[in-house]
RNA sequence: GCGAUUGUAGCUCAGUUGGUUAGAGCACCAGGUUGUGAUCCUGGGGGUCGCGGGUUCGAAUCCCGUCAGUCGCCCCA
């Protein structure tokens, strides 16, 4: 039979035990932070109808997707490049039965047919958290007009801040500091109103926002030329060039943030106790057309954006749901892992393997030929108590070598069976290396089962 | 989609101006020694030099193509 060697597809990565432990560690942080911020976990299919993504992003998106048609089928599908359309579809299907607001998160793998480079792969894992709806019910509000609008505006800002606070919670959980990363935010309404004040025609706003978005990559003189063409000049121009402005508790030092919408978000961020992590940044615009309010990115020096998100009030309706405001973000594993690695914040391989339960509780060693047959029954008994028990597959009878193997595997304890399988000693490998006196093997097994009783096993019905 | 750069054992790398059966360390396996937590000794398996084609008496070494990695552009939901 002819043999053929294969490589993993471009932009994908094989996950060996340590790689998987590292990814599980990251996802577990995402999950815990989401949960304690009151988000519930959901997931959807890994592929969707191709039209779902065309609806949201237009025909042009297709070249960025892995799309396919089943042989003999007539439907076009695409591996999911993002979660938002799935989320919108799921919400729309049960909108009337869901609480307001609904807070959902998802961690899963996503696929984009882009050229891989630093911080970007074709298959990656992404964390999404979204708040759909507001904590007010407009239909039940008695107020009219301006008063009602004000209440909705406040609720909108609260939800924006909840999402940003969740992102900040993750950064804290993995040991990042405000010096390492910042959430930089802006507000579409604030930009639009400010442009209006500066005399930029409304139909030019989209074009100017695109230039602001690209400002970092442009030479200052090119930037000036570009925005001047739309009427931006004088003070307005210098403000646009300034970039990030730190929000201060004692006031609003910059023309951009005197806008009512930005102020409301700022107040809510204060209530969420995350202001040290947040900066106002005029250059955060986000290219996507569907963002309607707050937009933000998590940025670290020298990396592409760690996370990005914003408010998309029209999208649920686009997917067949009732008109529903929503805000959310996505955070990928690739950039975050790069950042944590550079900052020395990833646990060591040993720590990860131990956390992931890949290190044995007990390594069973048969000391001497006459005890050789006892290792496997001993392992079986320990496993029936829920312990992670292993024995060597090597043929050596050398106790020293076997103890060395136990240590390399990170075993917490070794069970040394002697005396033809009748008695055993327990040696603790992690702590002091202390070793017990010989005892009957049944007693040793019971002692180990008691000491390493698993506490986090999933519930099960034993009959 | 475009550009630059790299590709020799599981890992880190040597391989002289193209010249005999391609090397080292670590890792792995086995045997011995020491009841270990970077012990020591001995031995072993493993590479068609990313893949394909070409030039040549002869290529890991030169040329072309292709695949993959890395970095950048585009894009970034």
How do residues A370-407 score in pLDDT, each as one tens digit? 777 888 899 999 999 999 999 988 877 788 888 888 88
pLDDT band of residue A326 (cuts 50, 70, 90) is: very high
Of the candidates A114, A55, A58, A53, the one whose C-alpha atom is nearest the C-alpha of residue A78 is A53
Q: CA at A210, C1' at B6: how many angstroms apart? A: 36
pLDDT for A138 beyond 50: yes
Task: State how far the Cα of A301 lies from the Cα of A461, in Å rounded to an integer.
Answer: 51
| Confidence (pLDDT) at A249 | 47
Q: CA at A299, C1' at B16: how many angstroms apart? A: 49
| Confidence (pLDDT) at A109 | 93
Q: CA at A390, C1' at B60: how many angstroms apart? A: 43
Which residues touch A199 (CB under 8 Å, ≥6 apart)?
A231, A232
Nearest nucleotide relative to A78: CA against C1': B77
| Confidence (pLDDT) at A102 | 97
Of the candidates A225, A227, A232, A230, the one whose C-alpha atom is nearest the C-alpha of residue A198 is A232
Q: CA at A17, C1' at B33: how many angstroms apart? A: 34
pLDDT band of residue A1 (cuts 50, 70, 90) is: very low
| Confidence (pLDDT) at A384 | 93
Q: Is the ipTM of this complex over 0.90?
A: no
In this predicted model, which residue has the larger pLDDT, A160 or A216? A160
Closest alpha carbon to C1' of B32, residue? A398
Nearest nucleotide relative to A80: CA against C1': B77
pLDDT for A270 beyond 80: yes
Chain B, protein-covered positions (CB within 7 A): 1-3, 28-37, 39, 50-51, 67-77
| Confidence (pLDDT) at A247 | 52
| Confidence (pLDDT) at A294 | 93
Task: State how far the Cα of A152 lies from the Cα of A148, in Å rounded to an integer.
Answer: 6
Q: What is the mean pLDDT of residues A47-62?
A: 85
| Confidence (pLDDT) at A239 | 62
Torsion over CA of A428, A430, A434 and A436, rounded to 10 degrees?
-10
pLDDT for A248 beyond 70: no
Compute CA distances A415 → A57, A344, A367, A394, whole Å: 60, 36, 10, 16
pLDDT for A277 beyond 90: yes
pTM for the model stands at 0.91
| Confidence (pLDDT) at A12 | 85
Q: What percent of chain A has pLDDT over 70?
A: 90
pLDDT for A264 beyond 50: yes
Compute CA distances A315 → A56, A62, A150, A372, A453, whole Å: 8, 19, 22, 66, 49
Q: CA at A402, C1' at B41: how many angstroms apart? A: 19
Count CB atoms within 10 A of the CB of residue A202. Answer: 9
pLDDT for A177 beyond 80: yes
Nearest nucleotide relative to A393: CA against C1': B29
| Confidence (pLDDT) at A74 | 92
pLDDT band of residue A50 (cuts 50, 70, 90) is: very high
Q: What is the mean pLDDT of residues A181-202?
A: 85
| Confidence (pLDDT) at A58 | 76
Q: What is the mean pLDDT of residues A266-295?
A: 86
pLDDT for A212 beyond 60: yes
User: Sheet of A423-428: strands edge to edge?
Assistant: A389-391, A362-366, A413-418, A423-428, A439-440
**Average pLDDT of the residues of chain A:** 86
| Confidence (pLDDT) at A400 | 83
- For residue A385, count CB atoms less than 10 angstroms from its CB and return exposed for 0-12, middle for 13-18, buried for 19 or more: middle
């Amino acid at each position: 039979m002819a043999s053929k060697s294969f490589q993993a597809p471009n932009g994908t990565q094989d996950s060996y035990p340590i790689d998987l432990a590292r990814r599980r560690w990251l996802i577990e942080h995402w999950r815990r932070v989401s949960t304690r911020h009151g988000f519930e976990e959901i997931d959807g299919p890994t592929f969707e109808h191709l039209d779902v993504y065309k609806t949201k992003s237009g025909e042009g998106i297709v070249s960025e997707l892995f799309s396919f048609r089943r042989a003999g089928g007539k439907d076009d599908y695409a591996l999911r490049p993002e979660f938002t359309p799935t989320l919108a579809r799921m919400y729309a299907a049960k909108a009337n039965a869901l609480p307001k607001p609904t807070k959902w998160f998802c961690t899963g793998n996503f696929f984009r047919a882009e050229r891989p480079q630093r911080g970007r792969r074709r298959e990656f894992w992404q964390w999404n958290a979204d708040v759909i709806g507001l904590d007010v019910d407009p239909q039940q509000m008695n107020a009219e007009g301006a008063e009602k609008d004000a209440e909705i505006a406040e609720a909108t800002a609260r939800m924006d801040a909840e999402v940003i606070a969740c992102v900040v919670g993750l950064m804290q959980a993995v040991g990042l500091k405000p010096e390492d990363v910042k959430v930089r935010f802006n507000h579409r309404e604030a930009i639009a109103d400010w442009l209006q004040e500066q005399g930029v025609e409304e139909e030019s706003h989209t074009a100017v926002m695109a230039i602001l978005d690209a400002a970092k990559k442009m030479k200052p003189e090119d930037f000036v030329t570009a925005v001047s063409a739309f009427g931006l000049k004088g003070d307005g121009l210098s403000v646009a060039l300034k970039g990030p402005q730190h929000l201060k508790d004692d006031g609003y030092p910059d023309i951009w943030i005197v806008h009512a919408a930005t102020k409301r978000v700022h107040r809510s961020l204060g209530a969420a106790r995350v202001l040290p992590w947040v900066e106002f940044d005029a250059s955060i615009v986000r290219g996507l057309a569907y963002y309607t309010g707050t937009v933000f990115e998590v940025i670290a020096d020298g990396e592409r954006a760690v996370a990005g998100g914003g408010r998309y009030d029209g999208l649920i309706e686009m997917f067949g749901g009732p008109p529903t405001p929503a805000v959310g973000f996505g955070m990928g594993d690739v950039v975050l892992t790069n950042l944590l690695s550079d900052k020395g914040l990833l646990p060591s391989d040993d720590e990860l393997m131990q956390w992931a339960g890949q290190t044995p509780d007990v390594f069973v060693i048969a000391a001497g030929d006459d005890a050789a047959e006892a290792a496997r029954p001993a392992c079986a008994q320990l496993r029936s108590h829920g312990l992670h028990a292993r024995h060597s597959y090597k043929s050596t009878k050398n106790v020293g070598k076997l103890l060395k193997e136990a240590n390399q595997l990170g075993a917490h304890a070794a069970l040394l069976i002697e005396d033809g399988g009748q008695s055993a000693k327990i040696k603790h490998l992690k702590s002091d290396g202390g070793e017990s006196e010989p005892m009957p093997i049944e007693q040793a097994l019971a002692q180990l089962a008691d000491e390493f009783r698993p506490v986090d096993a999933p519930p099960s019905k034993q009959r």
